[in-house]
Amino acid sequence: MSGPLVLAIESSCDETGVALVEGGSRIHANVVASQVALHAPSGGIVPEVAARAHLRWILPVLDEAWSSAGVSWDDVGAVAVTRGPGLAGSLLVGINVAKTLAWVHDKPFVGVNHLEGHVYAAWLRDPGQAEGEPPPFPLVALVVSGGHTFLVEMQDHLTYRLLGQTVDDAAGEAFDKVGRLLDLPYPGGPEIQKAAEGATRHDTRFPRAWLGDSYDFSFSGLKTAARRTVDAARADAGLREPEEPLPHVVTAELAWGFQDAVVDVLVSKTVRAARESGARSIVLGGGVAANSVLRTRLAGEAEAIGVPLIVPRPGLCTDNGAMIGAAGARRFLAGERSGLDLEATPSLPLAR
């Protein structure tokens, strides 16, 4: 093998993920049990329900990953697990299973920052995929998910300088909230993208929170503007009852306008950060990175300044064990080890 084979577990929120990753890049197995259908009726994640679902699924997911990888415990160099940030109950399920496996099989144990996993997903390669050039340093990484939105600069592996972060709501949370306002199914991000594809006029404009020269992000005001715009649209359509849906053409225009506002801010700040920091590449990660409009626009803007964009396929942008294996292998090779007294850290920062 070209590097250590890491068994990795991810359970920070509502996805139960187990993977086996070789050398920090080559995926041997990556199995994820999603809880989207479970949380759809409430329109958002219920922490207690999420934790119980992890308890239900983690061992079947582990068994499936193990059987599909075709390896033995003799091949495994370390066990890695997400230690934070995330939901406390969900984190504890993965941490305790990972601790038990490391102890029983006498393997080194490595705790991983979930956000670092999203960054290192850019180094992953699927089985049979040709080796590509790794993202060159220095780079700027944008991570956009349901709970996090931030920009960091990396001069080398495992080194981060925080450039900006959300001062209120994350972009993914804003997508979910506005999706509910538009009576779209949960999760809101994919549904808003799908609805926006039906827009034809493209003349609905939502405000942008630029925050001056800062690289920080703010989406709470955008949510408020969306609520007011949706209320006005309902009044214009003569809708009086909450269960009465907006006409599809109106929903499409509103979805397009909201998505355009979010993407505009994310892309503009990221490209400016890359240009001003002298970055040689841009890495995009997190669940919202699965949005094709964000990927396409950021790729175009990055190309315009001569900087490549490295973004995982959509399935590796959402939470999964492989990204924890990639980051865990890097930490393991750097000599880091965690004790079996490792605790969950729900508010664990990546950089300050």
Interval 149-194: pLDDT, tens: 999 999 999 999 999 999 999 999 999 999 999 999 999 999 999 9
CB-count exposure of residue 282 (10 Å: 0-12, 13-18, 19+): buried
Report d(CA 314, CA 346) in Å as an integer: 25
> Does the pLDDT value for residue 304 go beyond 90?
yes
For residue 165, what are the domain limits? 139-312
Do 259 and 216 lie in a common domain? yes
How many structural domains is the chain composed of?
2
Do 77 and 177 lie in a common domain? no
Percent of the chain topping pLDDT 70: 99
The reply to whether 56 falls in a domain is: yes
The reply to whether 346 falls in a domain is: no
Do 177 and 116 lie in a common domain? no
Q: Dmax of the chain from CA atoms? A: 68
The reply to whether 131 falls in a domain is: no
- The arithmetic mean of pLDDT across residues 236-253, rounded, is 94
> Does the pLDDT value for residue 242 go beyond 90?
no
Do 279 and 169 lie in a common domain? yes
Q: What is the pLDDT, as a whole number, of residue 351?
A: 84
Do 108 and 143 lie in a common domain? no
Report d(CA 81, CA 110) in Å as an integer: 7
The reply to whether 69 falls in a domain is: yes
The reply to whether 302 falls in a domain is: yes
Do 169 and 278 lie in a common domain? yes
Q: What is the pLDDT, as a whole number, of residue 257?
A: 98
The reply to whether 339 falls in a domain is: no
Do 181 and 212 lie in a common domain? yes
Q: What is the pLDDT, as a whole number, of residue 1?
A: 46
Cβ partners under 8 Å of residue 181, min gap 6:
226, 227, 230
Do 181 and 239 lie in a common domain? yes
CATH of the domain at 47: 3.30.420.40
The reply to whether 147 falls in a domain is: yes
pLDDT digits (tens, 9 = 90+) for 98-121: 999 999 999 999 999 999 999 999
The reply to whether 133 falls in a domain is: no
Pairing mode, if any, of strands 149-154 and 76-84? Answer: unpaired
Do 254 and 323 lie in a common domain? no
Query: What Rg value do the Cα atoms of the chain yield, rounded?
Result: 21
Do 69 and 214 lie in a common domain? no
Q: What is the pLDDT, as a whole number, of residue 73?
A: 97
Q: What is the mean pLDDT of the chain?
A: 96
- The arithmetic mean of pLDDT across residues 338-345, rounded, is 98
Do 74 and 183 lie in a common domain? no
Do 291 and 326 lie in a common domain? no
